[in-house]
Amino acid sequence: TQLLEQSPQFLSIQEGENLTVYCNSSSVFSSLQWYRQEPGEGPVLLVTVVTGGEVKKLKRLTFQFGDARKDSSLHITAAQPGDTGLYLCAGGDNAGNNRKLIWGLGTSLAVNP
């Protein structure tokens, strides 16, 4: 059974601080995605990484896919209150036509003004 473990589970920081959240597995994924979910809304896709070692940047957010495609990290520079939310990672398994995602439980981030 493929599992994705996210850490930390909860994070509360002050505006302006940097942070990193992690998504780890013992399984290899064909792709890995990060989503952000705000209270009362559905998850929204932030990024997809598909190549081992790939780094993508989205403004103050930097995403990295591990060389072996088993893990990923999300680094936020100078966090802002608008970054508050639940960050979910999801691994893609392209076996067959199912195309289901394996989901982590998420990191709940609170950025205090």
Partner 1 sequence: NAGVTQTPKFQVLKTGQSMTLQCAQDMNHNSMYWYRQDPGMGLRLIYYSASEGTTDKGEVPNGYNVSRLNKREFSLRLESAAPSQTSVYFCASRTSGRNEQFFGPGTRLTVL
Q: Which residues bind partner 1 (CB under 8 A)?
A: 30-31, 33, 40-45, 48, 50, 88, 90, 92, 94, 97-101, 103-106
Map tokens 């890995």 to a residue.
32
Question: How far from 4 is each of 26, 72, 98, CA to CA, in Å?
Answer: 8, 10, 18
CB of residue 35 to partner 1, shortest distance in Å: 8
Residue 45 vs 55, nearer CB to partner 1: 45
Upstream peptide bond of 8 is cis (omega within 30 degrees of 0)? yes
Q: How far apart are CA 8 and CA 103, in angstroms?
A: 15
CB of residue 41 to partner 1, shortest distance in Å: 6
Residue 5 vs 62, nearer CB to partner 1: 5
Question: Residue 85 — left, alpha, or beta (φ > 0 → left; ψ -120 to 50 → alpha)?
Answer: left
Residue 43 vs 66, nearer CB to partner 1: 43
At 81, give phi and psi (nearest 5°). Answer: -55, -30
CB of residue 34 to partner 1, shortest distance in Å: 11
Residue 70 vs 79, nearer CB to partner 1: 70
CB of residue 48 to partner 1, shortest distance in Å: 6
Task: Give yes or no for a contact between 65 and 47, defined as CB atoms under 8 angstroms apart.
Answer: no
